[in-house]
Structure 1
Amino acid sequence: MALILNLETATTNCSVSLAKDGKVISIKEFDSANYSHAEQLHNYIKEVLREASFSLQDIAAVAVSKGPGSYTGLRIGVSAAKGLCFSLDVRLISIPTLESMARQLNVPQEHLIIPVLDARRMEVYSAVYDRDWQEIRSTEAEIITEVSFQSYIATNTVHVIGSGAEKCRGVLDHPNVIFDTAVVPSAREMAHLSQKKFEASDFENIAYFEPFYLKNFILQNKKT
């Protein structure tokens, strides 16, 4: 039996799940624009363990959402995950934030999923997945313009999801695009992914692992 604790703190949603053999058996989450992660994360960890009648000593690994996302949110999640792994002597697993978002949708054949997280101004973090959640374009940071994602939109129905979807809605005017701003990263979708990585022994180096920030990706012109 693999019991894995999953931590998601990359955005406004503070989310913790406990999964047994890839199935969620307990979850606690709260989506707040005030970023309650520092106050709530460890409380949620205690709550999901108590609800499932397990203790920290029972877990085999800790999985953490690795980003991209909020710098502070990612730091909180990764710091908590590392601390638990060191103290419990268990493995650390990292999960791509955008992939777990994409797995919230089940779409028809030929449809694509583009999770987008709001960054600065007209910038977003995004990736492109097919209906089987296979990555067909890796994570990038980009400024949204009228030509963004056009090679996918022109020939496919595209689901643009996440906190950056509203920003995209104001720019991408095409009948093939479906927007969903309600999707946020959740520890629920992490369960299947963390189990797969656990079975493949795909673990991170606890001492050296860092979140995938994608920060400072736009070079700003300095005023003279």
Structure 2
Amino acid sequence: MRVLAIDSSGLTATVAIVEDEQTIAEYTTNYKKTHSQTLLPMIDEMVRMVDADLKDIDAIAVAGGPGSFTGLRIGSATAKGLGLALDKPLIHVPTVDAMAYSMYGCEDIICPIMDARRKQVYTGLYSFSHKKNEDGGLYDEPVFQVLRMQMAVPVEELIRHLNVYRRRVVFLGDGVPVYKEMLAEGLKVPYSFAPSFMNRQRAAAVGALGIRYYEAGRYESAAEFRPEYLRKSQAERERAEREKNAVPKVRRMTMEDGAAVAEMEHQLFSDAWSEKSILETLDQTNTICLIAEKAGRTAGYLLAYTAADEAEIARIAVVKELQRQGAARALLTELESVCGSEGIKKILLDVRSGNSAARALYANAGFKEDGIRQRFYEDPEEDAILMSRELEINV
């Protein structure tokens, strides 16, 4: 079997062509140029130097994370593009697993550490045990063991884990020079650092481990492949913080909101309304349709029908990642305001009996339980709790 291996998950960019019994070629750089500048030229040069034809490879092994968000995206895009063009499967090789595998046969705890900033590292704990020859011969096969799967943890927590094992540890990765002093201060077990020729990512290790994963059936199409980040990027964390602290704003729904509301319906409900149903509801004169936004993003919506001096909430929902951040309460408050201006005296709704969070929300908003409709809901079957709130109308 022959695979093209790619790893751009860290500061090092590395590519290789690997077969079952040998590495045909490997090209590794650890320089300040960005991977977008170097990765494809490295592959082209490597292929040219060994007169290879990428059409002859069986699969593409790619370090799928964790690691640098930019680096992972570049490596992922390169592998996916080649996979689609060549019609070859992709083998997702966890970055930290491949780093540990490069220390083949080591019986110490192998601890790769990649700097994740803010005194955190991407890491995992590995070792090799040995499988004796059943015939009593001298052959002694190392068996790759994952003691702790790859994770993102504070350095202090990693040190506590290692001290519990009470075994010799060998470290490698770009986190070593960053956290060397912290390791020296906190570790109570013997430790060492891998030498320069094996202390960074190696595409040959990605390829070799990738062949083992392929033989075990662990591969996927290029379209299916997704990198594994383990945690959100800095930009995503900052956006989440802005959204969390933002005050929800509520406005009237428009026809342009129909597609977004339909998408949320399908994400949140088993009996989702179609976009057509939502637009038909919006087009009726006896409805109140509201949208809640946080930090410029659609957070939730409310659909209510009016008749005489009553309004009944037919749908109220908030996207999962923005729940418990005030959007639902803002929708109810705006509904009360609209109802008050239109002379509506009472708001009605029903809620699943098992939805304790929603029932608490409505109770805090002044709704009272009026009765039960048995087995009203389906998928799953559940009773409906009827609730209402009387509004004070200022004359």
What is the alpha-carbon distance in structure 2 between the residues aligned to residue 103 and residue 12 of structure 1? 19
Structure 1 residues without counterparts, runs of 5 or longer: none
**Partner SS, residue 158 of structure 2:** coil
Residue 5 (1) aligns with residue 15 (2): no
2:88 and 2:221 in contact (8 A); partners too: no
Q: Which moved more, 1:3-12 or 1:50-59?
A: 50-59
Residue 14 (structure 1) aligned with residue 13 (structure 2): yes
2:182 partner SS = coil
Q: TM-score w.r.t. structure 2 length? A: 0.51
The answer to whether residue 200 in structure 2 is matched with residue 176 in structure 1 is: no
SS in 2 for 1:62: strand
Relative distance call for 1:18 and 1:106 in structure 2 (3 A) is closer
Q: Does 1:85 align with 2:83?
A: yes
The C-alpha deviation readout for 1:175-217, integer Å capped at 9, x for no partner, is 5122348411110211211111222332124223211111238
Whole-Å Cα distance in 1 between the matches of residues 20 and 104 of structure 2?
A: 22
The CA deviation string for residues 84-126 of structure 1, in whole angstroms up to 9 with x for no partner, is 11111111111111111112325654x2111110011211111
* Secondary structure of residue in 2 paired with 1:148: helix
Is 1:120 aligned with 2:134? no
Shift of 1:71: 0.4
Match of 1:198 in 2: 214
Partner residue in 2 for 1:26: 25
Write the letter of the residue equivalent to 2:20: D
RMSD: 2.5
Q: Is the 8 A contact 1:12 1:35 kept in 2?
A: no
Could you say which residue in structure 2 is the equivalent of 1:213? 229
Give the Cα separation in 2 of the matches to 1:167 and 1:133: 27
Aligned partner of 1:163 among 169, 174, 179: 174
Task: Describe the shift of the 1:138–1:22 C-alpha distance in structure 2 as closer, same or farther (beyond 3 A).
Answer: same
More helix by share: 2
State the secondary structure of the residue aligned to 1:26.
Answer: strand
Letter aligned with residue 95 of structure 2: T
Q: Partners in 2 of 1:134 and 1:187 — Cα distance?
A: 20
- 4+ runs of 1 displaced by more than 6 Å? 217-220
Q: Which residues of structure 2 form unaligned runs of 5+?
A: 129-142, 246-395
Cα distance between partner residues in 2 of 1:20 and 1:149 = 37
Counterpart-to-counterpart distance in 1, 2:38 and 2:161: 41
Partner secondary structure for residue 212 of structure 2: helix
**Cα distance, 1:61 vs structure 2:** 1.0
Q: Which residue of 2 aligns with 1:43?
A: 41
Q: TM-score, normalised by structure 1?
A: 0.87
AA aligned opposite 2:96: L
Residues 181, 166 of structure 1: CA spacing in aligned structure 2 closer, same or farther, 3 A cutoff?
farther
What amino acid does structure 2 have at the position aligned with 1:150?
R
Q: Distance in 1 between matches of 2:194 and 2:19?
A: 30
Structure possessing the higher relative contact order (Cα contacts under 8 Å, 6 or more residues apart): 1
Is the CA contact (8 Å cut-off) linking 2:9 and 2:68 kept in structure 1? yes
Q: Which amino acid aligns with 1:167?
A: V
Shift of 1:57: 1.4
Q: Which of 148, 172, 177 is the aligned partner of 1:137? A: 148
Partner of 1:186: 202
